Structure 1
Amino acid sequence: MAALARWCFRHRWIVLIAWLVAFIGLGGAARAVGDDYKDAFSLPGTDSQAAYDLLASEFPAASGETASIVLHARSGTLTDPALRTPATSMLASLAKLPHVASVTSPYDPKGASQLSADGRTAFATLTVDGQVTDLTAADIKKIVDTARGADEGSLQVEATGNIVSVAEQPGQSYSELVGVVAAAIILFLAFGSLLAMTLPLITALVALGIASSIIPLLSHVSTFSEVSLTLTTLIGLGVGIDYALFIVNRHRIALRAGKSPEEAAINAVNTSGRAVLFAGVTVCIALLGMFALGVTFLYGVAIAAALGVAFTMATSVTLLPALLGFYGQKVLSRRERRRIAEHGPEPERPSGFWWRWSKIVEAKPRRLAVLAAALIVVIAIPFFSLRLGSSDQGNGADTKTSKRGYDLLAEGFGPGFNGPFLIAARTGSEADKTTVARLVDTLADTPGVASVSEPQYSPTGSAATITLFPTTSPQAAETSKLLDRLRDDVVPKVVAGSDTQVYIGGSTATGDDFSTVLQSKLPLFIGIVVILAFLLLVAVFRSLLIPLTASVMNLFAVGAAFGVIVSIFQWGWFGSLIGISGGPVEAFIPVILFAVLFGLSMDYEVFLVSRMHEEWSARRDNRLAVSLGQAETGRVISAAGAIMTLVFASFVLGDERVLKLFGLGLAMAVLIDAFVIRTVLVPALMHIFGKANWWLPRALDRRLPHLSVEPTADELEGIVPEAATAQANNSTIPGQSTGPRASFDKSSGRH
């Protein structure tokens, strides 16, 4: 690491030009080629997937994506000539558009059931010749604009359905800009220097720009959804600024201690830079652990987010030392430079608030540990009421046509109309058709069922479809219970003794199946991530208790974040403040959030404990190591936590519910982690455990690989002769002389 930092510092023009060429070149390529985002969503082995596969093979026209064109009479009824004429004209225009396979009008004889009982609300079913991924945004926008063009006077026209949401993608969002501005303010307050403030911003934005250019290019050769790019921005911006912040902070400490800019940069990258790489690798491991779930939809998200983190690591240890070479002593504020010129360099002495706070934690560890743990548990309690599902257009803003159409359909036809079950059956014989007829009668008499359509047979007669409308809304728990009852009880009893195969699909059933699949694999995923992180920490810190404590603390942070998510997004507490209504939490969100949160929580653990480990290695005094490590890292960890919290929270300002959920969940987790867990709970527990923190069985010590976040003095001396002395002098303890440190061999863990 020291050699890399020295090369980048001395060849800073080459490094800067290389990163600029990559930034501009990849950005230009991405703009020239464009993107090919699509959702690879399939659930092999599930009932809903079997229903979809049967529809695709036996009803190719019907298997296309559909949208509902909702008609509503503001006055009068839809059968009035003044409303019927423009409505039928608009529907005829829709039928002529490219990719529109059919339009079933409520004014046609076979569409009579598409008119509400009071005659004021109706819908036309528009079917396209494929899935939403087969259409361009321009194709879908043309459909929506044609429909909405008839909205005039007493006739209200709205469009709703999955394909409509594509045309309603939010425009330019300024949430990222708000996050960057907030980060800049905190960086300025932390450093007191405008130039130093720009360093973390530049490295993070360069990394983010390159990753955001590569992902659209990769979308042409692999499957990436558009949410992959958004999440990469969300995660990359936060960790990128934080990683650079830790290195710049270490660089400034060395400058104040009298080191030259080159020595300070090498020292910073060779110490904090190692911690950055270790923390970043941990985040990537957690993200790529999503492959263990076997859900293709998550693969692109995992790769994209890991790619963003990887580039933030790369810019932090290459571009950043190059920029430090350009900035020189100006990384320090004018006041700091003037003080050094007048009074000479000073070793970094732990003092002020964080030194006093570390001594408070040292004096009352048990009481503070209990209070901190109790606070986290209380915040996490709602997590045990977590209900997974799928939000839909009913959770959107009233400014969207899909939301208005959704509400009109629920009002005119019942709450379950927006989430019908699509039942598919194989009918290869007359006996199968008799069974299907009996199934329709049974379903109609089932509690919780509002209505059931007559079976529609395929052209060959080998398959049939039945549409069932529940009495409850798609997101209601009662609807999920009805689905389970139909699959486990009602349908099996009807088809018993026959060869008829029946599958229940539809968007609501697919969402339930998705939740079930993820819930069944979530323990495996969590186990893989936790065990791998545990093993990495054991190898680095040569301890069993510290990795175990870190894993539990990270789970605490995740639990608290989910507690907040359930309270706001599921129960609706304070939801109006951020423009959302209560509903189930999307099934894929716990998976992605856990991967990101566990990795980010490990970041602060590494930065905090690596400093403690450095002191323990030198002095073998647990009390001093914990207090000094906390005092020296408290200020920078709190600044980093504040930055990441504000960057993540800024995404709540966007329009998309999923991004609000991610942003708020990540922000709350980082807030609790940085200001409760790392500043109170972890140091308190380490004081309580004492020397047991650093115990590792000798047999295990011999077998484990030797990883190190902090370099030994010999490693520093071998590359920069005076750096080891700077390292030793950087942590002078108040009231203690700066005598020589004990020699300690990190590879063996013994003096």
Structure 2
Amino acid sequence: MSRLYNFGLYVHDNRKAVVVFAVASLLFSVGLLSQGEEFIDGNAPPPTTDSGKALNLIDEQLTVSASNTVTYILSHQEMTWQDEEFQTAVESFVIEIRELNLEIVSISTIYDDPTNQQVIATHSSIDGKKTAVYVSLAGSEADLTDQIPSLKKLDSETLDVTVTGSLIIGNDFDTAMKNDTIRAEVVGLPLSLIILLFVFGTFTAAVLPLLIALLMIALATGISYWMSDWWFFGLTEYSVSMISLIGIAVSIDYSLFMISRFREEIAKGESTESAIATMMDTAGRAVMYSGATVAVGLCSLFYFDATHMPSMGMGAFLAVAAAMLYSFTVLPALLSYLGPRINSLPVPIPGANRKTEFWKKLSIKVMSKPLRWLIPALVVLLLAASPFLRVEMSAGGIEALPPDMESRIGFEILEDEFPAYTASSIPIVIVFAEDDDPMSIEYSERISPYCQNIAEIEGVIGVNHPICNTELFEQEFSQWPIEAQEEWLASVSDNILRMSVPVQYRSGSDESERVVREMFEISEDEDFEALIGGWSAFEVELKDHLVERIPAVLAFVLGLTIILVFLQVRSILVPVKAIMMNILSVSASFGIIVLVFQDGLLTGFLNYSAQPIDLTVPPLVFGIAFGLSMDYEVLMLSRIHEAWEETGDNTQAVAEGLQASGSLITGAAAIMVAVFFGFVLADVLIIKSIGFALMVAVIVDATIVRAIVVPSTMRLLGKANWWAPNWMK
């Protein structure tokens, strides 16, 4: 008897203790959740990058940072800002802002200097019917979160008001992420219950997987809250989304596999104790290998440490670990109590729990003429993957929000209609050495050539920081122009100096990338530390990081997965073939997300705008989908391998294995599709696109690949499927 068999006996004999453990773990989870979270900003460059370090230094050491600004766009269909009534309405609106319980650093309007052309270009739309009011607030973004509702509520009786700005946009991202997770759970869990009722035909069996999923959500989310303020990568809100996205699917699937095997053993007349032990030794073993392969894919995300992928990977990893923990302990303990009563409370659903030989008949039909089935299937998969050859990628941005969200609408108005709006300013942070004196003329003379070199880059509008003007340092600070004094006080601390460099190009464009790369080159040649910050710099860092790391990640995932599958089936060809099939499934999903999200195939239905694919989506989908695809592969191969050991006939083993696992794979795939569909309805585009890609990968994997490619290739390879040198068996 194997260790898993004995473990099943142990859980059966100690089921009371296991139930106590379940209750204790739930209370522990609630305790962790009640402590709250301190997630880092998932919409900013991660702190492991130079661009992220620059923004963190700005947030920590300067009174006003890029993260606590609010911009109001006031407009009228007929009047312009030059009309007296328009001006009166703006001034009244500014009074309302000042009456809020906020520490306001500055409020900038067009009426500060209405004859200055630069002020006009910055504060007025081309037609003059819109004007911007820029508000800078003291305090960190976290400090201002509670004030955001009052900032959004401000209105004008005369003018239309649209609110945007980095503070509002960041809050909208965070709120959307939380709402997306809740919406996905509200959609996914009931749909999963319906599918489980159809698969099992009894309410008792159907409800157990949902119980395991709820325990998983509580524990994994609680641990992510606890880790949020100390894990060295830093966790973001995305980690919680991944817990629901991956955790619900695998929790229910693992429970489905194990409960199905338990019912199968009970139907044979086995005792509850024997059924539990056999379930652990068969379905439990498949779940163990499945969880290991999923974990391999997720661990690959940790290697992308200059992104937020480690945070997402950690969320998914916690979910899979919690799902396996409860599937191996609480689930068999509950089944030990239920025994044959697992089939109680039948539901009157037509076709529920119906036994057919569909999968066996289909596999025999496919294996009778394998090439006739295999070639068209491969053609379909390759055609589905082909759009990925023309993929365009970016680091994302405001376009990740829905096109009808107010903060995005306002941002796009500023970009499109305000001539001198500098949303694409690139911050540069100069870090002082211990003996540097930034107020000395010598330091200015040292930095001034650097300013000049940056200003000479094609596309840079200018570099106007006081440190660049050596003549200022020939006089006392009190004699500087007021504007220069204010700029200095707002941008210099004891340790850093920040200068904002406006550029002509939008973040994400090829021109913006060229500007940033030239900034990097100039900064590397200096004898002082200069960090290029902002989203444009992060996008360049992200591209370089992915190009450097992806080959190693591919080798790690493919190599370790081959080893894990080999350990299960002791075959040379089957693991290699399994890898190739998963690559086909994932590639097909890559191609389809290009059609949908880059080409805009479903923009109206899913409420997004067509745009380049987020740079992190392909590696994320690969890391997750590869493991999830192996989920079915491992289950199916375990049943085929069982049949092969019993019969020694490859064709019969494939037919019996597919028949034994086919309905389970269909049910498990349907559950995953239901869960992922909940995330397809998300507002945040990266979550929407990941959910869609995973949904497509699962559908392709559970239909074309498992129904056609697997039996046809197994038939063509024959007994060679199971060959391995004796010393490896």
2:227 is aligned, of 218, 235, 247, to 218
2:278 is aligned, of 267, 274, 286, to 267
Q: Deviations over 1:485-517 (max 9, x none)?
A: 33556997x999998997754323323432332
CA pair 6-584 structure 1, distance change in 2 beyond 3 A? same
User: 1:730 corresponds to which residue?
Assistant: none
CA pair 683-415 structure 1, distance change in 2 beyond 3 A? farther
Post-superposition shift, 1:604? Answer: 0.8
Query: 1:67, 1:698 → 2: CA distance?
Result: 70
User: 1:114 corresponds to which residue?
Assistant: 122
Query: 1:457, 1:155 → 2: CA distance?
Result: 37
Residue 386 of structure 2 is aligned to residue 386 of structure 1 = no
User: 1:580 corresponds to which residue?
Assistant: 608
Matched ranges for 1:651-662 at <5 A? 651-662=679-690
Query: 1:359, 1:370 → 2: CA distance?
Result: 17
Residue 501 of structure 2 is aligned to residue 467 of structure 1 = yes
Letter in 1 for 2:145: A
2:109 is aligned, of 99, 105, 111, to 105
377-386 vs 225-234, greater mean Cα deviation = 377-386
Residue 20 of structure 2 is aligned to residue 17 of structure 1 = yes
Post-superposition shift, 1:354? Answer: 1.2
CA pair 435-689 structure 1, distance change in 2 beyond 3 A? same
Post-superposition shift, 1:246? Answer: 0.7
Post-superposition shift, 1:353? Answer: 0.9
> Helix, strand or coil: the match of 1:126?
strand
User: 1:723 corresponds to which residue?
Assistant: none
8 Å CA contact 1:388, 1:515 repeated in 2: no
Pairwise CA RMSD? 3.4
Post-superposition shift, 1:236? Answer: 0.5
Query: 1:416, 1:53 → 2: CA distance?
Result: 24
> Helix, strand or coil: the match of 2:329?
helix
1:558 is aligned, of 586, 607, 610, to 586
Query: 1:285, 1:595 → 2: CA distance?
Result: 8
In structure 2, list runs of 5 or more residues that go unmatched. Answer: 348-352, 432-441, 468-487
Query: 1:508, 1:626 → 2: CA distance?
Result: 52
User: 1:246 corresponds to which residue?
Assistant: 257
Q: Deviations over 1:618-669 (max 9, x none)?
A: 3322222222211211111111111111111122223222221121111111
User: 1:433 corresponds to which residue?
Assistant: 448
Post-superposition shift, 1:535? Answer: 1.5
Letter in 1 for 2:414: L
User: 1:277 corresponds to which residue?
Assistant: 288
8 Å CA contact 1:275, 1:610 repeated in 2: yes
Query: 1:495, 1:239 → 2: CA distance?
Result: 47
Matched ranges for 1:468-487 at <5 A? 468-470=502-504, 473-475=506-508, 479=509, 481-487=510-516
CA pair 108-601 structure 1, distance change in 2 beyond 3 A? same
Q: Deviations over 1:506-564 (max 9, x none)?
A: 32332343233223212212221111111222222222211111112112121111112
1:188 is aligned, of 188, 197, 215, to 197
Post-superposition shift, 1:671? Answer: 0.8
Q: Deviations over 1:28-50 (max 9, x none)?
A: x1343222221376568977458
Query: 2:401, 2:106 → 1: CA distance?
Result: 27
Residue 304 of structure 2 is aligned to residue 293 of structure 1 = yes
Query: 1:558, 1:123 → 2: CA distance?
Result: 46
Letter in 1 for 2:643: E
User: 1:733 corresponds to which residue?
Assistant: none
In structure 1, list runs of 5 or more residues that go unmatched. Answer: 337-347, 702-748
CA pair 463-636 structure 1, distance change in 2 beyond 3 A? closer
Matched ranges for 1:495-534 at <5 A? 505-534=533-562
TM-score of the superposition, structure 2-length normalised? 0.84
8 Å CA contact 1:350, 1:632 repeated in 2: no
8 Å CA contact 2:121, 2:419 repeated in 1: no
Query: 1:17, 1:529 → 2: CA distance?
Result: 37
Query: 1:167, 1:484 → 2: CA distance?
Result: 27
User: 1:36 corresponds to which residue?
Assistant: 38
> Helix, strand or coil: the match of 1:258?
coil
8 Å CA contact 2:425, 2:500 repeated in 1: no
Residue 574 of structure 2 is aligned to residue 546 of structure 1 = yes
Query: 1:308, 1:415 → 2: CA distance?
Result: 47
Matched ranges for 1:602-641 at <5 A? 602-641=630-669
CA pair 464-166 structure 1, distance change in 2 beyond 3 A? closer
Q: Deviations over 1:52-106 (max 9, x none)?
A: 5886799764565434333323331124333333433444554675464433333
Equivalences, count:
673
User: 1:712 corresponds to which residue?
Assistant: none
1:368 is aligned, of 373, 378, 382, to 373
Letter in 1 for 2:501: T
Post-superposition shift, 1:280? Answer: 0.7
Matched ranges for 1:308-319 at <5 A? 308-319=319-330
1:208 is aligned, of 217, 220, 229, to 217
1:692 is aligned, of 716, 720, 725, to 720
CA pair 388-495 structure 1, distance change in 2 beyond 3 A? closer
Matched ranges for 1:584-599 at <5 A? 584-599=612-627
246-255 vs 415-424, greater mean Cα deviation = 415-424
Alignment identity in percent?
A: 27
Letter in 2 for 1:212: T
CA pair 330-525 structure 1, distance change in 2 beyond 3 A? same
8 Å CA contact 2:89, 2:156 repeated in 1: no
User: 1:140 corresponds to which residue?
Assistant: 148
> Helix, strand or coil: the match of 1:135?
helix
Query: 2:520, 2:548 → 1: CA distance?
Result: 24
Letter in 2 for 1:329: P
170-179 vs 596-605, greater mean Cα deviation = 170-179
CA pair 561-87 structure 1, distance change in 2 beyond 3 A? same
Letter in 2 for 1:37: F
8 Å CA contact 1:455, 1:464 repeated in 2: no
Post-superposition shift, 1:296? Answer: 6.0
174-183 vs 512-521, greater mean Cα deviation = 512-521
User: 2:472 corresponds to which residue?
Assistant: none
Post-superposition shift, 1:577? Answer: 0.7
Q: Deviations over 1:321-340 (max 9, x none)?
A: 1222233223236899xxxx
Post-superposition shift, 1:7? Answer: 3.0
CA pair 102-415 structure 1, distance change in 2 beyond 3 A? closer
User: 2:77 corresponds to which residue?
Assistant: 74
Query: 1:376, 1:696 → 2: CA distance?
Result: 30
> Helix, strand or coil: the match of 1:102?
strand
CA pair 44-232 structure 1, distance change in 2 beyond 3 A? closer
Query: 1:297, 1:629 → 2: CA distance?
Result: 40
Letter in 1 for 2:35: V
Query: 2:277, 2:105 → 1: CA distance?
Result: 65
Post-superposition shift, 1:204? Answer: 1.9
TM-score of the superposition, structure 1-length normalised? 0.81
Query: 1:58, 1:327 → 2: CA distance?
Result: 60
356-365 vs 584-593, greater mean Cα deviation = 584-593
User: 1:174 corresponds to which residue?
Assistant: 183
Query: 2:680, 2:420 → 1: CA distance?
Result: 28
Q: Deviations over 1:540-593 (max 9, x none)?
A: 222221111111211212111111211111211122111111112222222222
CA pair 562-416 structure 1, distance change in 2 beyond 3 A? farther
Query: 1:290, 1:500 → 2: CA distance?
Result: 33
